[in-house]
Amino acid sequence: MKDNPRQITEIQAAIIVISTIIGVGVLPLPLFASRAGGTGGPMVTAAAVVTALVSLLLITKLGQRFPKQTIVQYSEELIGKWPARLGTVCIIVFFGVLTAMTAREFGEVVITSVLKKTPLDVTVIVMLLLAALSTRNSLATFAYIHQFYFPLILFPAMVIIALSLKNANLLYLQPIWGESTAGMLHGILIIAALFQGSFVMTLVIPAMRSPGKAMRASVWGIAISGGLYLLIVIATLAVFGPEETNKLLWPTLELAKVTSLPANILERLDAAFLAIWVTAVFTTLLSAHYFTIHALSQLFRLNDHKLFSMMLLPYVFVMAMYPKNVLQMYEIISIVGRIGLVLTFVYPLFLLLVAIFRKKGGGKTDDRNRTTDRKGAEPTPSVSSQPVK
C-alpha cells in the first residue's frame, strides 16, 4: 500500500477494532441475549465473544502472512483473479448494506427517543453525510479519529453500567446456564454478527508499523469490546430480569433511564448515554464506509479512494430507507448478519487454508524478498571453487 505509509501503532489498531465494534448494536444486545438464553444471556454473550475472537484471529493471521497487502489484493494471488474479485464484490456489498442498516437503526432510535418530529430520512442522511465526509481522509487520520473518540465512548459507558448495578437483583441471573438451550446457538450467531466490523483489520494491518503485533491488538480489541458487551447484558438482566427484558425494544436505553447519579444530581442518564451512543454509531459507520470505498478503489486499481466516498452515498441511502418499519429492519439485519458470518469467517478461513497449502505468504520466499527490498539487489550466487574435471 504505497499511498498509506506504516503509521498505525498497535494501540491504535486495537482502538479501531474496539470503536468499530461498539456501535448501534449496543441498544438491542440484551434483548438478543435474553431471548436466546433467558438467565443464561451472559453465557450466550460470552460464547459469541469467543466466536468473534476466533474469526478475528483467522483474519489477523491471514493478514500477517501478507503484511503489505489487503484481502482484496492477496486473495487474487491465492485463488485467482476472477474468483477473488467475486469474493471482493460480495464483501463490498455486505459492508454497504451494513452501513445502510446501521444508519437506519440510528435514525429509528433518534426519531423515537429524541427528535420525535424530525423526518426519518433527515436523520439518516445527516449521519451518512458526516461519515462520508470523514472517509475522505487518509488511513492515518482515520486512526486518529478513532483514537480521539475512544475515551468518550468507553469510559462514560463503564460509569453508566457501574451506576446501574445499584438496582441489580442477582436472582435474575440464576440459573446462570439458562432454563433452555434450544435457541442459544441462534443467539450466539446473532450476537457474534455484531462484531463483524472488526473485519476492518484487513485494511489496518498493511498500514501498521509492526504487523507482527496485529494479533495482540486483535485480542485486546475483542477482549475490551466483548467485555463491555458482556457487562451490558449482565447489568440489564440483573436490573430488569429476562421476562421484562424480552418486552423492551432497546433494553440498554431503558437501563440508562432508570440509572441516576449519586445524590440525584441527574435522575436519568439516558440523555448522556444517547450522546455517547451517537459517537459510537459514528465510528462504526466511519469504519464500514471507509472499508467499502477502499475495497472498491483497490478492486478497480485506483490510487485514490475519495472518488467513491460521495458516489456510493445515494445507493447506501436507498438501502437504508428500504425497510418499511423497525421489525422489517431487524429481520433484514438478522439475515444480513448470518450471511456476513460466512463472508467474515468462512471466506478468510478458506483463504488461509489455501495460503498454507500453496505455501503462499509468510514463507522463506517472502522473507528473502523483504531482505532484498531492504538491502537492494539480491546477492550474486557464489561460484563453486571445485576444479572442473
What is the per-residue pLDDT across 40-56, written as a single tens digit (0 to 9) for each?
Answer: 899 999 999 999 999 99
Provide the 10 A C-beta neighbour count for residue 225. Answer: 26
Please check the confidence at residue 17 and state whether its pLDDT lies above 80. Answer: yes
318 by DSSP, 3-state: which? helix
pLDDT of residue 4: 46
Reported residue count of the chain is 389
pTM of the predicted model as reported, rounded to 2 decimal places: 0.88
Tell me 199's DSSP state.
G
Residue 266: band (very low, low, confident or very high) from pLDDT cuts 50, 70, 90? low
Range with lowest mean pLDDT among 4-18, 98-112, 258-272, 360-374: 360-374
Q: How much is the average pLDDT of 334-362? A: 88
pLDDT higher than threshold 70 for residue 371? no
CA distance 82 to 299: 11
- Torsion on CA atoms 101, 289, 198, 3, rounded to nearest 10: 170
- The Cα–Cα gap between 172 and 345 comes to 34
Tell me the mean pLDDT in the region 91-110: 92
Is 236's pLDDT higher than 60?
A: yes
Q: What is the Rg, in whole angstroms, of the alpha carbon atoms belonging to the chain?
A: 23
Q: pLDDT tens for residues 277-335?
A: 999 999 999 999 999 999 999 898 888 788 888 889 999 999 999 999 888 999 998 88
Least confident stretch, 209-218, 274-283, 284-293, 373-382 = 373-382
Check residue 55 and give its pLDDT.
92
Residue 216 has pLDDT above 80, yes or no: yes
CA distances from 365 to 78, 353, 370 (A): 15, 18, 9
pLDDT value at residue 368 = 39
Classify burial at 147, counting beta carbons within 10 Å of its beta carbon; exposed 0-12, middle 13-18, buried 19 or more.
middle
Q: How many CB atoms lie within 10 A of CB 78?
A: 22
A 10 A CB-CB count for 386 gives 6
**Could you identify the residue written with the cell 440525584?**
264
CA distance 386 to 366: 31
Indicate the range of 228-242, 304-318, 370-384 predicted with least confidence. 370-384
Q: What's the confidence (pLDDT) of residue 387? A: 42
Task: Using pLDDT thresholds of 50, 70 and 90, give the confidence band for residue 107.
Answer: very high
pLDDT score recorded for residue 377: 41
Average pLDDT, the chain: 86
Whether the Cβ atoms of residue 49 and residue 197 lie closer than 8 Å to each other: no
62 Cβ contact list (under 8 Å, min separation 6): 71, 74, 202, 348, 351, 352, 355
Residue 278, classified by CB atoms within 10 Å of its CB into exposed (0-12), middle (13-18) or buried (19+), is middle
Average pLDDT over residues 229-253: 92
Residue 378: per-residue pLDDT: 42
* Structure confidence at residue 264 (pLDDT): 66
Phi and psi angles of residue 386, each rounded to the nearest 5 degrees, phi first: -75, 140
Residue 320 or residue 271, greater confidence: 320
Residue 262 confidence class, pLDDT cut points 50, 70, 90: confident
Comparing CA positions, the residue from 230, 153, 154 lying closest to residue 191 is 230
Phi/psi at 168 (5° precision)? -75, 150
